[in-house]
A and B are shown apart, each in its own frame.
Chain A
Amino acid sequence: KQEVTQIPAALSVPEGENLVLNCSFTDSAIYNLQWFRQDPGKGLTSLLLIQSSQREQTSGRLNASLDKSSGRSTLYIAASQPGDSATYLCAVKSGATNKLIFGTGTLLAVQP
């Protein structure tokens, strides 16, 4: 059974710092991995999707990497801003099904 873990559970950084969020999964047979952002009271917004054949994806100040063999992904946020404060979730999609398996998230607070 696929399990997804995210560390740390919460993170507080001063504005301008670069930071890394971690995601690990137990079954390396994944189709893709997505990073989402969730703001309080709102739905999830997809940030980056990495196919199983890819090593990384970049969008603006965000860079996500994938090491499928070791079951790990990282989300790197450069030059953090207070507007980046949110919960960040990673989710994996296994090849046999379209459902996403989510981690428990990292609550990020960027202090001005």
Chain B
Amino acid sequence: GAGVSQTPSNKVTEKGKYVELRCDPISGHTALYWYRQSLGQGPEFLIYFQGTGAADDSGLPNDRFFAVRPEGSVSTLKIQRTERGDSAVYLCASSQGGGSAAKNIQYFGAGTRLSVL
């Protein structure tokens, strides 16, 4: 596609529920990233995929958070037993991957605003 697409744009859920957030990266981009941005803060890294595998998941806050990218394209961020503190904008980015600076530029989607009531 033309850009990184994230769905839904807004998600309201109740405490304790399970949610899935979807990211469609730019076509051909091998690297995909998830970040979380709380109000008034910069984005915080969650997880990075190179192809189908999670190359770095050090930013996932706990085992309620999980992400997959089974075919090396679309990724889904899954949050179990949501808590009010999970409310934030979840941003996805993709890059071409590779050694050059240009190929490492991350292109961001508009994000999914998650509200846990």
Cβ of A32 and Cβ of B104 under 8 Å apart? yes
Instruction: Number of B interface residues at 8 Å Cβ cutoff, please give it.
Output: 28
Q: In whole angstroms, how far apart are the Cα atoms of A44 and B59 in the complex?
A: 19
Residues in B whose Cβ lies below 8 Å from that of A97: 48, 56
Chain A residues touching B, range: 20 to 34
B106 cross-chain contacts in A, Cβ below 8 A? 34, 46, 100
A104 at the interface (CB under 8 A from B): yes
Please state if A103 and B42 are interface contacts (CB–CB under 8 Å). Answer: yes
Residues in A whose Cβ lies below 8 Å from that of B111:
42-43
Q: Assess whether B105 is in contact with A98, with CB atoms less than 8 Å apart.
A: no
Is A99 in contact with B104, judged by CB distance below 8 angstroms?
no
Contact A99 B45 (CB under 8 A): yes
A-to-B contact residues, CB < 8 Å: 4, 6, 32, 34, 36, 41-46, 49, 51, 89, 91, 93, 97-105
Binding site for A on B (CB under 8 A): 4, 31, 33, 35, 40-45, 48, 50, 55-56, 58-59, 91, 93, 95, 101, 104-111
Given A100-B43, A100-B106, A102-B43: 10 more A-B contacts, CB < 8 Å: A34-B105, A42-B110, A43-B4, A43-B111, A44-B91, A51-B101, A91-B43, A97-B48, A103-B42, A105-B42
Can you sample 22 A-B contacts with CB below 8 Å?
A42-B110, A43-B108, A43-B109, A43-B111, A45-B108, A46-B106, A46-B107, A51-B101, A91-B42, A91-B43, A98-B33, A98-B50, A99-B33, A99-B56, A99-B58, A100-B35, A100-B43, A102-B42, A102-B43, A103-B42, A104-B40, A104-B42
